[in-house]
Amino acid sequence: MQQSQKIMTDFQVRKSKKQKETFRGWLCGELEAAGYAPKVEKGFAARNVVAGDPEKAKVIFSAHYDTCAVLPIPNFVTPRNMFFYLCYQMLLVLAIFVAVFLAEAAAVVLMKLAGTEPPLWLHMLLGYALCVFFCWWILDGPANKHTANDNTSGTITLLETALAMPPEDREKVCFVFFDNEEKGLFGSAAFTKAHKKAKKETPNINFDCVSDGDYIQFFPDKRMKKKNPEMLERIEAAFQGQGEKKTEVVRGPGFYPSDNKAFKMGVGVCALKHKRIIGYYMDRIHTSRDTVLEEENIQLLRDGALRLAAAEKISNQGLT
């Protein structure tokens, strides 16, 4: 859609307060022109855009619109290989400690060359300051200018679905554009705090990093698997693979760390690649290489969401 093209060209960076405010103004304008009455819900460190009634909706579609800092190495995610994921995260932590050690050592050498012997407390203060700096860089450093997959893809998918949703199906759904997922799921935490019934009972389909990979997978919460298997069957029926694009509801071990975790009935949706040794994986995100937006993925998910909303029944049985 024309709106999606504009996001890619004009709003791909949504990190600063001003950038987010400008994007929210444009987004609300597009939703209003399509017949919605969007509102900006304010919560702790977050501004969520909500279109629809979360108290009456049978399903909540969501995506986070904020974007991340640019990093020298990607956030490599393996949702179905916890061992590899933990090993990679440990290597990242180790890399930070090595960087802190080298930077501190260089500073101490420079001070000694200048004729100053730094005391122990200065060593400790310098190390602490460097750790704080690297943590700040990861969470709130310079903006990544390339966010096609994370999470411009999810934002576009959500908007495309909202704009294409027939008027007769709109009362069944609620669309939520979450803020500050990258800083710690603040947007979804604020939303579920304000809408406790939705948190406990309403199925949530959350699109995050859905455009770079041929394997589109759905990761339901354990409670969703146990309490609402009918919904999982409806998801499988609605979201159908096409050609090289494969869809799967993961019923076995697997996780996806995004805003869906704030819901008891959350389902995280992402696009993955595959290699024989490590299995399904996601790469490039949080780096300047995040430039892949596969339109076929967006269309597949949009059409699946429309089919899900159009279903005669979206069961809420067995949620209490």
User: Mean per-residue pLDDT for 159-169?
Assistant: 96
**Neighbouring residues of 149: CB distance < 8 A, sequence distance ≥ 6:** 209, 210, 211, 212, 271, 282, 284, 285, 290, 292, 293
- CA 84 to CA 175: how far, in whole Å? 34
Backbone angles phi, psi at 111, to 5 degrees: -65, -40
Q: Mean pLDDT for the chain? A: 91
Instruction: Report pLDDT digits (tens) over 44-80.
Output: 889 999 999 999 999 999 999 999 999 888 889 999 9
pLDDT level of residue 269 (50, 70, 90 thresholds): very high
The stretch 185-211 carries a mean pLDDT of 96
Tens digit of pLDDT for each residue in 276-311?
A: 989 999 999 999 999 999 999 999 999 999 999 998
210-233 pLDDT per residue, tens: 999 999 999 999 999 999 999 999
Q: What's the predicted TM-score (pTM) here? A: 0.90
Total Cβ atoms within 10 A of residue 82: 12
Helix (H) or strand (E) holding 241: none
Interval 233-246: pLDDT, tens: 999 999 999 999 99
Q: How far apart are CA 149 and CA 258, in angstroms?
A: 14
Residues 79, 254 contacting (CB under 8 angstroms): yes
